[in-house]
């Protein structure tokens, strides 16, 4: 059923009249009864509770509402008007009058809530077993954990009971369940989705996350859910380069950071270790170039989340219940949260100082890379294993995830393999904040290249996904052919803006080359001549997008930036010359490049 639950498939079925939202919701209700052992729902909406949402579709045009009739699940620490929010704790429950901003925006776009999904209580855990409503169980094998804390959110999508779902992600709760249930898991940039109407775990770090079957669907949901919220002090405006129009199929070469073998941990799970190695080989075949980075500063940052003072934020969120009714809290959750009363303000400042130093080290390693890639989790545990060892094994689940929000980074979990036992495995793509669309575009390339089943589906029916080619929005490739070449007088204008040398190559054989009058500095002019042109030696530099405007503004006439065709046939932005600039110029096409010409003058 999963492939048939993609947004594109459902919209097509609605438009052709082969399905109605009411029929779909009735089918979901019937199939939910088959999965009671998975402990997916805390509250599944009744027919009466669903009726207003179905009726509201009569006043919404499908073409102008991108989520018209699309069913979604809501983690039960996010408000849905008129439905209790429990955060996995019955004694904490309240019934909100209005929905969380993100939920309301999705409903306004036509989406239909299916229900409130089970979770690790107060979103404290990465495994799904810490719930009085029963442990969340894996969509593929109920003996295994669902991953948490967004347990029911992930399993509902994997089993075709929702097209997408909302989770939350403070330490990995939007990624670990995606890995264990064969889903895309988007942990957006902190503040990109409003936290109004979210029961906080760590308010300064929390973010609402998205589970989906495809990168296309995750992008569509993100487009409908994002938006600045002045009621949320942590809300952030999305910059132009990270908006929905920049999502597509990431083409071209990819340079990706991976963890050295000595720093990888699979905690005895040889099947996951083999799946990771298989995934890397598959991705090499898709054009991924891997370079190693030092994971130690990322891991040190991760340890601050639970071993540092940030646990006090969890204490603040639960303090009334801890003070008045501590027995209402799951004993493992209480054991984690109660020490949050002890850290001092001095502990927080010391931890922040160290975190900033670690962040600089981590970001420096990411320079020049399209993203980092890690296993999403090192081991898949059974439910019984987690119940027997709830603290240690949960900590191991966070080895590759806990650093993310502390370092203000963005991540997308992507399915990449299955073990011999048929259990899902996946990797996580990591980028700096506001790299959401760039990472989703790489995830798109992975999904199209690997063509795995979607969610819990058994077949590999390939969904139609975006083929719109996109590059890295943070960088612009720039062709230089003269004084900006490496080591020449104007190269500083690139290097001081953070540009990196990407490639030495030649143009297509359609250009004439001139030494322009004037100087110093002496400059060449590149002029298109498809009949009498030749190939010219050039360099391609990657320039940070934020610096491109100031660079172009400093270019004097008669030079400018236009599209230059390379020997491999594709075009790149680069230096060109206006025809009037050739007055008094010397043609040097025969030298084939500026360096050769300069050498002839020595």
Give the per-residue pLDDT at 321.
87
**Position 539 pLDDT exceeds 50:** yes
pLDDT in tens, 493-504: 999 999 999 999
Instruction: Name the strand (E) or helix (H) holding 476.
Output: strand 475-480
CA distance 367 to 472: 13
Average pLDDT, the chain: 95
- Helices 215-225 & 7-16, crossing angle to 10 degrees? 80
Catalytic center residues: 75, 149, 173
The sheet with strand 524-528 has its strands ordered as 524-528, 511-515, 586-587
DSSP state of 65: -
Q: Which residue in the block uniquely carries the two structure tokens 């203000």?
A: 408
Task: Annotate 201-232 with b (16+ C-beta within 10 A) or e (fewer).
Answer: bbbebbbbbbbbbbbbbbbbbbbbbbeebeeb
Q: Which domains does the chain have, with CATH numbers?
A: 3-470 (3.90.1300.10), 475-600 (3.10.490.10)
> How large is the average pLDDT for residues 255-278?
98
pLDDT in tens, 205-249: 999 999 999 999 999 999 999 999 999 999 999 999 999 999 999
pLDDT in tens, 280-327: 999 999 999 999 999 999 999 999 988 888 888 888 888 888 888 888
**Position 596 pLDDT exceeds 70:** yes
Alpha-helical regions (H) of 114-169: 151-158
Give the per-residue pLDDT at 1.
46
């Amino acid at each position: 059923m999963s492939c048939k639950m993609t947004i594109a498939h459902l919209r097509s079925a609605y438009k052709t009249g082969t399905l109605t939202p009411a029929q779909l919701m009735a089918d979901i209700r019937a199939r939910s009864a088959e999965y009671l052992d998975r402990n997916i729902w805390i509250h599944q909406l009744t027919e009466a509770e669903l009726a207003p949402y179905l009726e509201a579709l009569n006043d919404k045009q499908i073409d102008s509402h991108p989520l018209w009739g699309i069913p979604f699940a809501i983690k039960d620490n996010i408000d849905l008007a008129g439905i209790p929010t429990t955060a996995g704790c019955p004694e904490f429950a309240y019934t909100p009058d209005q929905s969380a901003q993100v939920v309301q925006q999705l409903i306004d776009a036509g989406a239909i809530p299916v229900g409130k999904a089970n979770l690790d209580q107060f979103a404290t855990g990465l495994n799904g077993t810490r719930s009085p409503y029963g442990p969340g169980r894996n969509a593929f094998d109920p003996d295994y954990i669902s991953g948490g804390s967004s347990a029911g959110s992930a399993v509902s999508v994997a089993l075709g009971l929702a097209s997408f779902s909302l989770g939350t992600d403070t330490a990995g709760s939007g990624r670990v369940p995606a890995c264990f249930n064969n889903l895309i898991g988007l942990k957006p940039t902190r503040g990109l989705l409003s936290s109004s109407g979210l029961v906080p775990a760590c308010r300064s770090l929390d973010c609402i996350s998205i589970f989906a079957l495809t990168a296309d669907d995750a992008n569509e949901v993100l487009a409908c859910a994002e938006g600045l919220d002045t009621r949320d002090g942590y809300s952030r405006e999305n910059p132009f380069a990270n908006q929905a129009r920049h999502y597509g199929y990431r083409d071209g070469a990819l340079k990706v950071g991976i963890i050295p073998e000595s720093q990888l941990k699979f905690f005895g799970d040889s099947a996951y270790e083999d799946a990771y190695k298989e995934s890397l080989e598959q991705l090499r075949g898709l054009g991924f170039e891997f370079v190693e980075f030092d994971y130690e500063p990322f891991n040190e940052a991760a340890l601050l989340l639970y071993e540092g003072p940030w646990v006090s934020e969890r204490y603040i969120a639960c303090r009334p219940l801890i003070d008045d009714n501590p027995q209402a809290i799951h004993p493992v959750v209480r054991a984690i949260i109660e020490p949050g009363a002890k850290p001092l303000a001095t502990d927080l400042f010391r931890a922040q100082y160290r975190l900033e130093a670690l962040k600089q080290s981590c970001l420096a390693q990411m320079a020049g890379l399209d993203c980092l890639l890690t296993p999403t989790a090192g081991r898949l545990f059974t439910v019984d294993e987690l119940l027997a060892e709830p603290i240690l094994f949960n900590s191991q689940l966070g080895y590759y995830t806990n650093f993310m929000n502390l370092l203000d980074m963005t991540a997308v979990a992507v399915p990449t393999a299955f073990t011999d036992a048929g259990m899902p495995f996946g990797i996580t793509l990591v980028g700096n904040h506001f790299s959401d669309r760039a990472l989703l575009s790489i995830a798109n390339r992975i999904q199209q290249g690997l063509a795995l089943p979607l969610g819990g589906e058994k077949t590999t029916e390939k969904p139609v996904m975006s083929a719109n080619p996109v590059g890295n929005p943070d960088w612009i490739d720039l062709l230089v052919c003269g004084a900006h070449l490496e080591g020449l007088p104007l190269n500083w204008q690139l290097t001081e803006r953070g540009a990196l040398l990407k490639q030495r190559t030649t143009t297509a054989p359609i250009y004439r080359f001139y030494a322009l009058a004037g100087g110093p500095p002496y400059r060449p002019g590149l002029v298109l001549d498809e009949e009498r042109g030749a190939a010219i030696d050039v360099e391609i530099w990657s320039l940070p997008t934020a610096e491109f405007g100031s660079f172009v503004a400093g270019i004097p006439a008669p030079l400018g930036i236009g599209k230059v065709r390379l020997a491999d046939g594709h075009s790149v932005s680069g230096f060109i010359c206006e025809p009037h600039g050739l007055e008094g110029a010397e043609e040097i096409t025969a030298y084939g490049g500026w360096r050769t010409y300069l050498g002839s003058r020595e």
